[in-house]
Structures are given as structure tokens and as C-alpha cells.
Structure 1
Amino acid sequence: MTNENSESQSPPGFIGHLVELRNRLVHAILSILIIFIALVYFANDIYGFVAAPLISSLPEGTSMIATDVTSPFFAPFKLTLFVSLFLAFPFILHQIWGFIAPGLYKNEKRMLIPVLISSILLFYSGIAFCYFIVLPIILGFFTGVGPDMMTLSPDISSYLGFVLKLFFAFGITFEIPVAIMLLCWSGATDTQSLKEKRPYIVVGAFVVAMFLTPPDILSQTLLAIPMLALFELGLILASFSNKKQEPTEQEN
């Protein structure tokens, strides 16, 4: 009788988790949609802001072009959708947290809340670093190395794909300190082991940068160097956190 009751009660619990997951996914999608509706009127202005580093690097008398009839409409539209996704990132993480938090212990919740906040700030910092520092360097270099007889007129769609790829790459890359801290806290590795593997990580950083950035050595280097710096920062934070937790564990 007891086994039958427990078996009959398990499906509703499982279904309840699925329903909650569905509701949180719907809320996350709605947040993106609401932000998109609020921003779509300013789609052209948003694209102008993102294209500003390229426009300032172009020679006088040149401008961007659209090689497809639909590009002047769909390029700003697509960019606005991605901007809505980036802006909704904190609310999406909040929905993820709301789904997993009931299954965590109190000490795990105290540990993960700063991690979530840090991941949001680091993600936006990566995009800001890419826009204000990396893009002017890359675009200034590539627009200045061509032959004089060439007229540079970048396509708005190809530039959008180039920029979004870089934004995504730098946003994810800036999460490295959080990833290292989580790996060390979970026991999957430790700071000493990561320090011993530093030469392999240096090579791996350039390999990852090769896949995440456009096929040029400048973009790869500008991504690999921050990756290595963030790796070192993650080691420092993980070491500091472990030293801080050791006295607490001894007291317990």
C-alpha cells in the first residue's frame, strides 16, 4: 500500500516541476518580448549607436551600404532583438534561480547569490569592454590597412554579424572568474591544480579565441589576453574564498 501511494504521488510532483519550468520559461520569453516592444521604435538609433565605432573609423566620404533590399529593415530589427535578450539577462537568471533555489541548502544559497550578481556584472562588463576598447582598435586597424585605390563600404548585415559575435564572445569570456570559483567550490578542481596547468590554459585560451572571434590574429589576441587575465583573477578569488571558508569549517 505504501509503495503504491508513493508511486502514485511521484508523477504529480514531477509534473509540477515541469509546469513550474514551463511558467518560468514563459516569463523569461515575455520579459524579452516586453523589452523588445519598448525598444523596437528606436531600432535605427540602436543600430547607429552600435555602428558608431565603425563610422568613426571610415574614411571621409564613405558610408555603410545595404547589399540586400530587406537589410535596412531586418538588420536594426535583429539587433534590437539581441539587445532585448542582453537586457533581459538579469531577469532570465532570476527565473533560473527561482527554479533551482528550493532544492538548495541555506549555505549554498548564500554562496550562489553573489555568484549570480557577479555573473550579470561580468557579462555586461565584457560587452562594454568589447564596445569601448576592442572595437575601436580592431576597426581602426582594418580600415587603415587597405590599399588607397580601394573604397571601403561595409555591409550593414555583415557588420552586425561581426559585432554580435564579438559581444557574445566577450560577454561569455568575462564569466571565467565565476566558472573557476564554482569549479573550486564544487570540488571538481582546486587552485593548485589549475596553476600547474597554466601553460596548457594559455594555449587553450588562444585556441578558444580562434573559434569565438573572426579569423584574424588581432581579434584573437584581444580576446585571449583578457581570458588569461580573468583566469588569474579567478584563481585569486578562489584562493581567497577557500582561505575564508577554512576557519568556518574548523569552527563547525
Structure 2
Amino acid sequence: MKIERDFSLRGNPVLRHALITAGSKGLGKKVSEMLLEKGCSVSINFRSDMDAVEKLKKDWGHYGEDRLHFFQGDVTKKNDMERFVTEAVNKFGRIDYLINNAGPYIFERKKLADYTEDEWYEMLEGNLSSVFHLFRHAIPIMRQQKFGRIVTYGFQGAESSPGWIYRSAFAASKVGLVSLTKTISIEEAENGITANMICPGDIVGEMKEADIAYSRGIADVQTPVGRSGTGEDIARAIMFLCDENSDMITGTVLEVTGGVDVINRYR
């Protein structure tokens, strides 16, 4: 893929543009929402939920088509990810933030030997290979800009490569992603590109799209800080990492868990 663009600032402030996978609902929705509120234009990948997208088009219609772009595609398919990047750059002319929010997860608790081959490869392709394909197409654009912020998602303790019972395939792919994120942070530092990982805690159900204020009104005895994490918690952390002045923070794994111990609950 070769895209020619003029990335010079020409003395004018740049309208930052973000790509986010699975950005139409759950944690991704709150991240997309905050990016729009901060003045960014946003390209949002979704797989199949057209109802959610149509609702967002109405709810966020005041931002206009010049700020919002939806792309239907599967993160496990490399051609879809190439088209996602190409469409975004053709529409907005740049990629400043790459937020790798999507990642398949198997909720059934099962041991590694009980996984099917399809389940194993879905975890690897969706959580690791998909990020490689996005990196490969987005980083050359960021290099031309001399600016980029990349955020991947992990899980509590991923940096230390812990065993996670019943989550073997997911954990293996995310631990690999830790190394990939750190490597990219070193390789691309000279180009003004940072790469960091966010590790959400146990954020489930309605809390994925909830605000912090709402969470504070509901006691959560399972989380040491006394409330559940929310989509807003994750979005705030990502916005900090994407800030112009956060360039000293790269290769970092940031846990946003409220002190909850996710991986040891079944031991």
C-alpha cells in the first residue's frame, strides 16, 4: 500500500485523526466519544452491529461527516485492516492515533488442551496478528508525519507473562503483544511515535460504556478502590498517552484496574 500525502503543518494547527478498532460500543465507544469531545476526527472499525452504528450516527451527528468515519471489517482479516487504513487516510489525510481496542475473547472457562484449533487461531489472529497488520500500514504514515501515538490493550500482569488459567490462548497472544508494543516503541522513537499498552481491570456489562460519576454511586466490594472501572477510566488513560507532551512515555504497560486481582480469582 502506497499513499502519498503532504503531512506538513503549513503553520496551522493540525486536526488530529484517530483510528480505533471496535470503537462503536463497549470500552471502544467511550474512547471514540472522548476523542471526538477533544476535537479529533475519528475512524471507527466495527464488525457487524449496524444497529449500534446507526444509533451513533444519530447521537454523534452534530460532529458532522468531516469528523466521523465508520468502517465495517473484521480485525482477523488482514485485507480488511489494510482497507481500513487506506480509507481513513484517503478521507482525512493522516493518522495520529492508532487505538487497538478490538480483541476476541472466549468467555467459556476451558483448559488449553480443550481448545479447538479455530479457537486458538482466532485468539492469535484477533489479538496479535491484527495489530501487526495495522502497524504495518499505519506506521509509514506516522513516520511521514513525524508524529504518532499507538495504544494496545493487555490484561493485568501481562508484562510479567503470568499463567492465566482458562484463558491460555488469550493470555499468550496478549503477552506476545506486550513484547511487540515495546519493540515498536524502541524502533519508532526516532520518528516521534510512541507505543504503550493499557491493561483494563474487570470492567463488564454496562460499566464498559459508563461514566466515572455513575460508577462512584455503586459500591463494588470486589474492587479495592470501592467502585468498578468504567469505559471513561480507560478513555482518560488513553487520552493522556496520546497527549502531545506525553512523548517521554513509551514502551509502558499501564494497568487501570483499581487494584483488582483478575487473573488469580480462579486459583
- Tell me whether the two structures share a fold, i.e. TM-score over 0.5: no
More strand by share: 2
TM-score of the aligned structures, taking structure 1 as reference length = 0.26
* Larger Rg, first or second structure (1 or 2): 1
More helix by share: 1
TM-score of the aligned structures, taking structure 2 as reference length = 0.25
